[in-house]
């Protein structure tokens, strides 16, 4: 009887953690708080605000600024600095440290939205230099490494740079860009 109760409590805990990862607080929802949406707030849209557009602002474009390009700057490349790679560094690995997972209530969660302001994933931050990526189901998919300019380059779990990166929207979050500097439509709050 005691074993069944323990199993039941454990199952209830796992289910509640699973539900927590899927819940979007209204204070982070760009469909409810239109100020958070690049579609409704043009100052957050890189298509409207040239200061946050890496096609125009070379300082935040890794193809034009060697300091933030991981192929040029090995100090921000996890292949040369394995301590930046969660697959090799257990202190930032969400599969080892459950508190780094979005299903945990022990960490701050950032929310990833597509251009239509639909939730598509989560980010957690194990250190000031690392953001861990999770899909909407809570599966760990990739990670970002902070650059000297405050942008973040996107790496797959093996440590290869995808070419994508995050730039601050100068207000409430980040926008994601592809290697050519085109906004992917993804934004983080």
pLDDT, tens only, 57-94? 999 999 999 999 999 999 999 999 999 999 999 999 99
pLDDT, tens only, 1-52? 545 444 443 444 444 444 445 588 888 889 888 889 999 999 999 999 999 9
pLDDT, tens only, 129-145? 999 999 999 999 999 99
Mean pLDDT for the chain overall: 90
Q: Is the separation of the CB atoms in 134 and 104 below 8 Å? A: no
Specify the pairing of strand 152-156 against strand 140-146.
antiparallel
What local confidence, expressed as pLDDT, does residue 12 receive?
A: 42
The helix/strand/coil state of 9 is helix
Residue 113 CB partners (closer than 8 Å, separation 6+): 30, 119, 120, 186, 187, 188, 189
Q: Is the separation of the CB atoms in 176 and 166 below 8 Å? A: yes
**To which H or E segment does residue 141 belong?**
strand 140-146
Cα(87)–Cα(160) distance, integer angstroms: 12
- β-strand partners of 132: 124, 143
Domain ranges of the chain: 2-188
pLDDT, tens only, 155-171? 999 999 999 999 999 99
Give the global pTM: 0.86
Residue 65 C-alpha from the chain's centroid: 22
């Amino acid at each position: 009887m005691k074993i069944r109760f323990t199993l039941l409590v454990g199952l209830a805990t796992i289910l509640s953690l699973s539900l927590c990862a899927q819940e979007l607080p209204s204070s982070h929802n760009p469909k409810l708080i239109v100020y958070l949406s690049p579609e409704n707030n043009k100052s957050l849209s890189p298509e409207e605000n040239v200061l946050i557009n890496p096609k125009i602002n070379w300082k935040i474009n890794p193809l034009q600024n060697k300091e933030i390009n991981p192929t040029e700057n090995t100090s921000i490349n996890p292949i040369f600095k394995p301590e930046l790679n969660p697959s090799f560094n257990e202190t930032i690995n969400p599969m080892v440290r459950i508190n780094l997972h979005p299903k945990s209530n022990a960490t701050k969660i950032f929310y990833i939205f597509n251009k239509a302001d639909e939730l598509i994933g989560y980010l957690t931050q194990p250190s000031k230099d690392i953001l861990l990526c999770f899909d909407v189901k809570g599966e760990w998919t990739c990670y970002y490494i902070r650059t000297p300019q405050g942008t973040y380059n996107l790496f797959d779990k093996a440590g290869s740079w995808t070419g994508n990166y995050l730039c601050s929207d100068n207000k409430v979050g980040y926008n994601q860009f592809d290697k050519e500097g085109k906004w992917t439509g993804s934004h983080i709050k």
